[in-house]
Amino acid sequence: MVPLTISDLQETAKVIRRNSIEAIYKAGSGHPGGSLSATDILVSLFFGGVLNLDKKDLKSEKRDRFILSCGHVCPSFYAVLARLGFFNEDLLGNLRDLGSSLQGHPSSVYADFIETSTGSLGQGLSVGAGMALGIKFKTPSSKCKIVVLSSDGEQNEGSHWEAVMQSAFHKLGNLCLIIDKNRMQVGGETKKVLDMDSLSAKYKSFDWEVYEADGHDFRSLLSVFSRFNEAKDKPKVVICKTVRGKGVSFMEDNLKYHSCTLSEEEYRKAMEELC
């Protein structure tokens, strides 16, 4: 797919935000805060020419693998896949419905376009590292990359750091981690729950290649993502500074919108702002 221009990326992000909010509203529950903070990252990855995917051949050996480790922000991920034609956009209205392939957290039990089930934090990077090792082992010349999206809350998980150590030890240059650092988690501000502000220094000391980006600036995101193919012998992490609830004024940095039911009024106001 031809990468979109910056202005088209901005327009697409608006659509993704609208579709995510609408899906969460119809579902009666969901995680709007993280879905909105991760939207521009997802749009850059999927519409900015970063990920090489084939919607007609979901298991193509040549595809890049994408894992949404912070599975709760799936409404925006689903909205992105729908926009790309992986499934009909109408399906977004079935989010969290009985029998839907759009489960409340991404589930490979119900959807073939999910690489691995997530939702229980701290597992995505391990699976991504296993894929990265597997690909390196079977096809050393492979250009496939594995991209894992995580959140700053997920950095609390011990098993995640097991995978961080393992990935550097095995020099997994084909593994790219992105952290949506929206500075909030269920219990409040991350720095008040379990301070992770020195993330960059932590990853550097674990021997990762560390980048930082403005998670709502497409130029900043794409310029960093374009370096995914560099440093073949080190895993890469991009720490993206974001705002939880980005794009909807009353949701921004508001703890209430981590996980909630949206009232009709909240829904209407949000959709007006996202016009």
Can you list the positions of beta strands (E) in the chain?
A: 65-68, 146-151, 175-181, 184-185, 188-189, 209-214, 236-241
- Rounded CA separation 244/12 (Å): 19
- CB of residue 74 to another protein, shortest distance in Å: 14
- CB of residue 269 to another protein, shortest distance in Å: 36
- CB of residue 96 to another protein, shortest distance in Å: 17
- Rounded CA separation 115/102 (Å): 14
Which amino acid is it at 140?
P
Number of residues that bind another protein (CB under 8 A): 31
- CB of residue 150 to another protein, shortest distance in Å: 13
Where in 112-171 is the site for another protein (CB under 8 A)?
A: 115-120, 122-135, 137-138, 158-159, 162-163, 165-166
Task: State which residue, 79 or 131, has the beta carbon closest to another protein.
Answer: 131
Task: State which residue, 29 or 108, has the beta carbon closest to another protein.
Answer: 108
Nearest partner of 261 among 16, 31, 19, judged by Cα: 31
Site string for another protein, 88-117 (x = CB under 8 A): -------------------xxx-----xxx
Looking at the DSSP bridge assignments, the partners of residue 149 are: 68, 178
- Rounded CA separation 98/102 (Å): 9
HEC string of 182-222 equals CCEECCEEHHHHCCCCCHHHHHHHCCCEEEEEECCCHHHHH
Task: State which residue, 80 or 131, has the beta carbon closest to another protein.
Answer: 131
- CB of residue 117 to another protein, shortest distance in Å: 4
Task: State which residue, 120 or 261, has the beta carbon closest to another protein.
Answer: 120
Task: State which residue, 23 or 111, has the beta carbon closest to another protein.
Answer: 111
Which amino acid is it at 229?
N
Where in 166-195 is the site for another protein (CB under 8 A)?
A: 166
Instruction: Write out the H or E segment, with its range, that includes residue 71.
Output: none
Q: Residue numbers of the site for another protein (CB under 8 A)?
A: 107-109, 115-120, 122-135, 137-138, 158-159, 162-163, 165-166
